[in-house]
């Protein structure tokens, strides 16, 4: 079993809601409300969920682009959540991020060479000045772009190419972890495949661990070793990809999986349909007890009273954890096709 390199413990991020003339705090938007997980070296942890589940906020917390309200992020023996400025600078070499939008993630006024080379300007001891241009060209090649284009500007590249530039920037410092915030969501299907291939190849070559945040379940399934399903700021279920996709034990996960359209018309009418009623509740006012109980078809009285903990449920074993009082009943026995 490979070592754990990143561990999030009970992470919370609450945004205060201020209203009234005096701007009193009348409540909090609980974007992330108690998230814990582990990430091992070289593995890909997929984080899926729908809008409002807090996965993007979680990504920003992991990068310390925002400060958590509570909780800790243990990385390399240090708690990133409370680390000082210079310590964070050192840690930032080991954990980097790739953003979703290829059109706003690159500075339009800088050349591609400058963009990918910026990490070396900020951390000058990683690569000596003389070797920087060479290294940038190497990085361009690694992500499948031509090193001759080092002096071009972002607007001269397509969306998929820009994402690759963002990836090159992310791996420039040889990090151990790459947080990917919906890296392929804004791309066309045919381009998605190209970029996913690049990312998988890089992972093999460099031994990177990915935190892959996305809403496309098929993509997450393909690339992830383990998957965490988020709902309203908390993890509903976490396990290996086979456990989540074939032996899911949480009603939300099952509803989510049943909603994913399958590109195979012969399955029409044969798949299980679990339509969810209504909207996702507001994160400012989450339901009592289990957050999903207002839309859950298995909800019983205890669900509105007591919040189920994300723990190993009996009969599941291993690292498959689920936050449902009735996890065993929900466990699917039929395997599912992609």
* Minimum CB–partner distance for residue 302 and another protein (Å): 24
DSSP code for 265: G
Helix or strand or coil: residue 77? coil
**Is 126 near another protein (CB under 8 A)?**
no
Backbone angles phi, psi at 96, to 5 degrees: -130, 175
Contact 222, 228 (CB under 8 A): no
* Minimum CB–partner distance for residue 306 and another protein (Å): 25
Backbone angles phi, psi at 46, to 5 degrees: -90, 140
Site for another protein in 156-175 (CB under 8 A): 156-161, 166, 169, 173
> Can you point out the beta strands (E) in the chain?
4-19, 24-40, 44-48, 70-75, 78-79, 95-98, 177-181, 209-214, 226-231, 234-240, 311-312, 321-322
DSSP code for 114: H
Closest to another protein by CB, 50 vs 312, is 50
The residue from 4, 17, 88, 311 that contacts another protein (CB under 8 A) is 88
* Minimum CB–partner distance for residue 328 and another protein (Å): 24
Closest to another protein by CB, 122 vs 309, is 122
**Is 298 near another protein (CB under 8 A)?**
no
* Minimum CB–partner distance for residue 314 and another protein (Å): 27
How open is the CA angle 221-43-66, to the nearest 5 degrees? 90
Pairing of strands 321-322, 311-312: antiparallel
Closest to another protein by CB, 315 vs 338, is 338
Helix pair 132-142, 159-171: axis angle to 10 deg? 130
**Is 200 near another protein (CB under 8 A)?**
yes
**Is 275 near another protein (CB under 8 A)?**
yes
The residue from 206, 260, 284, 332 that contacts another protein (CB under 8 A) is 260
**Is 240 near another protein (CB under 8 A)?**
no
Return all residues near 104 (Cβ < 8 A) that are at least 6 apart: none
**Is 123 near another protein (CB under 8 A)?**
yes
**Is 106 near another protein (CB under 8 A)?**
yes
Closest to another protein by CB, 106 vs 238, is 106
**Is 18 near another protein (CB under 8 A)?**
no
Backbone angles phi, psi at 260, to 5 degrees: -70, 120
**Is 206 near another protein (CB under 8 A)?**
no
* Minimum CB–partner distance for residue 136 and another protein (Å): 14
Among 17-25, 74-82, 256-264, 312-320, the segment contacting another protein (CB under 8 A): 256-264
Among 13-21, 26-34, 99-107, 321-329, the segment contacting another protein (CB under 8 A): 99-107
Q: Provide the sign of the torsion angle of the four alpha carbons 284, 289, 291, 296, taken in this order.
A: negative
Pairing of strands 177-181, 209-214: parallel
Site for another protein in 21-80 (CB under 8 A): 50-51, 60, 63, 65
**Is 122 near another protein (CB under 8 A)?**
yes
The residue from 8, 145, 208, 230 that contacts another protein (CB under 8 A) is 145
**Is 192 near another protein (CB under 8 A)?**
yes
* Minimum CB–partner distance for residue 193 and another protein (Å): 4
71 Ramachandran zone, left/alpha/beta (phi>0; psi -120 to 50):
left
Closest to another protein by CB, 10 vs 16, is 16
**CA–CA separation, 195 vs 214, rounded Å?**
14
């Amino acid at each position: 079993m490979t070592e754990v390199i990143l561990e999030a413990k009970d992470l919370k991020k609450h945004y205060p809601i201020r209203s009234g003339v005096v701007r009193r705090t009348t409540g909090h938007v609980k974007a992330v409300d108690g998230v814990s997980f582990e990430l091992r070296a070289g593995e890909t942890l997929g984080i899926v969920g729908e809008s409002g589940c807090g996965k993007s906020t979680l990504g920003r917390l992991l990068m310390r682009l925002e400060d958590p309200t509570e909780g800790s992020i243990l990385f390399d023996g240090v708690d990133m959540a409370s680390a000082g400025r210079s310590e964070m600078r050192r840690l930032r070499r080991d954990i980097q991020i790739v953003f979703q939008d290829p059109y706003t993630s690159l500075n339009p006024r800088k050349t591609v060479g400058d963009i990918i080379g910026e990490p070396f300007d900020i951390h000058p001891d990683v690569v000596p000045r003389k070797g920087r241009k060479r290294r940038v060209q190497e990085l361009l090649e690694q992500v499948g772009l031509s090193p001759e284009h080092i002096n071009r500007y972002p607007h001269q590249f397509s969306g998929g190419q820009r994402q690759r530039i963002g990836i090159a920037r992310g791996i420039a410092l040889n990090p151990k972890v790459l947080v990917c915030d919906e890296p392929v969501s804004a791309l066309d299907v045919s381009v998605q495949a190209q970029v996913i291939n690049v990312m998988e190849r890089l992972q093999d070559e460099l031994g990177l661990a990915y935190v892959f945040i996305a809403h496309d379940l098929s993509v997450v399934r393909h690339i992830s070793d383990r998957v965490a399903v988020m709902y309203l700021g908390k993890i509903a279920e976490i396990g290996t990809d086979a456990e989540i996709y074939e032996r899911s034990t949480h009603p939300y996960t099952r509803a989510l999986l049943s909603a994913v359209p399958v590109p195979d018309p012969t399955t029409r009418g044969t798949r299980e349909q679990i339509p969810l009623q209504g909207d996702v509740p507001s994160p400012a006012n989450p339901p009592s007890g289990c957050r999903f109980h207002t839309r859950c078809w298995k909800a019983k009285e205890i669900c509105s009273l007591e919040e189920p903990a994300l723990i190993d449920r009996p009969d599941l074993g291993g690292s498959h954890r689920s936050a449902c009082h009735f996890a065993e009943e929900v466990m699917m026995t039929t395997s599912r096709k992609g």
